Amino acid sequence: MTMKKYMGILLVIGCLTLSSCFDLVEQIDMNHKGAGTIKATLNLSKSRTKVASLLKMKRFNGIDVPSETDIKQEMEKVVGTLKSTRGISDVQYNLDFNNYIATLSCSFENVQALNDFSKTLSAQFKIQITSYNSYRYDSASQTFTRSYTYAPNLSKEFSKIPNEDKNLFADAYYTNIIRFDKNVQSQRHKGAKISANKRAVLLKVKAVDLINGSTNLTNTITLVQ
């Protein structure tokens, strides 16, 4: 997904995110044993007028536009699938069709379950997620690693979008926040920042930079032992 990785996770409205300004926020809260929660929020409120108009259409630029009912039904399928995924629990979601904000969250027993979260969604939406993004946690060294591989097809798909719609991506961002129950000793991403209380790492990048491959999400975070 766009970061096509997690857009599809929240809603089957990729056709809407490709024509509207959006913000995608991914929050991971993890303890030093490797368990935690993940919450993803897709916020289309800055383009809610355009999104509302799109939802009234049957097709847009040759793409079938899902109705609110379709989106709700698909999200229910996703939740049902995640609930049956080993290591995943407390799956919750919310669809706000007034402001066009969607959230999906769950708890994971370990980092493998966090990766299975992506794998499950990849299968559900028939998109490749795990080949682009995966997590690893070494409890002995207290090191949390995110591996990310750029997918060239993102730029290819983006090139198909009309130029006037590409301009809407100027204010689209992906934000990743990872919180821990121990202090962060160091992190390696040049664009990320350690919070003032030393318990979190924040990374915010432009969606277009992810799409064209000019930025990367790979990072290694080491906690204080």
Tell me what pLDDT residue 69 has: 83
Does the reported pTM lie above 0.85? no
Phi, psi of 86 (to 5 degrees): -60, 130
> Each residue of 4-46: pLDDT tens digit?
333 333 333 443 444 446 788 999 999 999 999 999 888 888 7
| Amino acid making up residue 66 | P
Tell whether the model's pLDDT for residue 97 goes beyond 70.
yes
In the predicted structure, residue 94 carries a pLDDT above the cut 80: yes
Which range is most confident: 17-21, 138-142, 194-198? 194-198
Residue 149 CB-half CA count within 13 A: 8
- Residue 164: what pLDDT? 67
Task: Give the residue among 151, 162, 34 at the shortest CA–CA distance from 87.
Answer: 34
The length of the chain is 225
Task: Please give the distance of CA 214 from its chain centroid, rounded to a whole number.
Answer: 18
CB environment 42-58: b (16+ within 10 A), e (fewer): bbbebbbebbeebbeee
Element of type H or E holding 26: strand 23-30
Mean pLDDT of 52-74: 72
Average pLDDT over residues 164-169: 68
- Which has more pLDDT, 104 or 159? 104
* 10 burial type by CB count under 10 A (0-12 exposed, 13-18 middle, 19+ buried): buried
Which distant-in-sequence residues (6+ apart) come within 8 Å of 124 by Cβ?
77, 78, 81
H helix intervals, 127-222: 153-158, 163-166, 207-212
pLDDT, one tens digit per residue, over 146-158 is 998 887 777 776 7
Domain ranges of the chain: 2-132+150-183+191-216
